[in-house]
Amino acid sequence: MSTTTTAPRKTRSLPPLMTLTDAAAERLRGLYAKGEQGKLLRIGVKTKGCSGMSYDMSWTEAPAPTDEVVKDKELTVLVDRKATLFLIGTVMDYEVKNLTSGFTFTNPNEKGRCGCGESFHV
């Protein structure tokens, strides 16, 4: 009788679900301290635009059972569990340009964006 054993597979560690740049953290601190005090930012994706998906941000009073809690730079952000596979490794930034300002996402899972930049696909 012959038996073979296989060594357990080494698992690769996943990158963090989401990280914040210093600019995003500073802007979120300001929002959490003022008009959105006591609330948390929830990030998800929804079907929209030419490419299929867009980022969705909303304020909530407390985490839902379907939220992943992301802690970075001493801040808490929620990620809708349905969006986690689309967002693994994403960096959230806050950019100020001549005529606009807002949160942006650098997502390593994106395969392309629409021309206007409003939506993406993976």
Tell me the mean pLDDT in the region 13-28. 89
Question: What sign for the dihedral angle of Cα 118, 52, 104, 33?
Answer: positive
Burial, 38: exposed, middle or buried (Cβ in 10 Å; 0-12, 13-18, 19+)?
A: exposed
Distance CA 11, CA 48 (A): 35
Task: Parse the chain into domains and list their residue ranges.
Answer: 18-114
Neighbours of 93 (CB within 10 A): 17
pLDDT tens by residue, 48-105: 666 577 888 999 999 999 999 999 999 999 999 998 988 899 999 999 988 888 898 8
Class of the CATH domain delimited by 18-114: mainly beta
Q: What is the pLDDT of residue 37?
A: 85
In SS3 terms, 19-42 reads as EECHHHHHHHHHHHHCCCCCCEEE
Q: Give the residue carrying structure tokens 């990280």.
A: 19
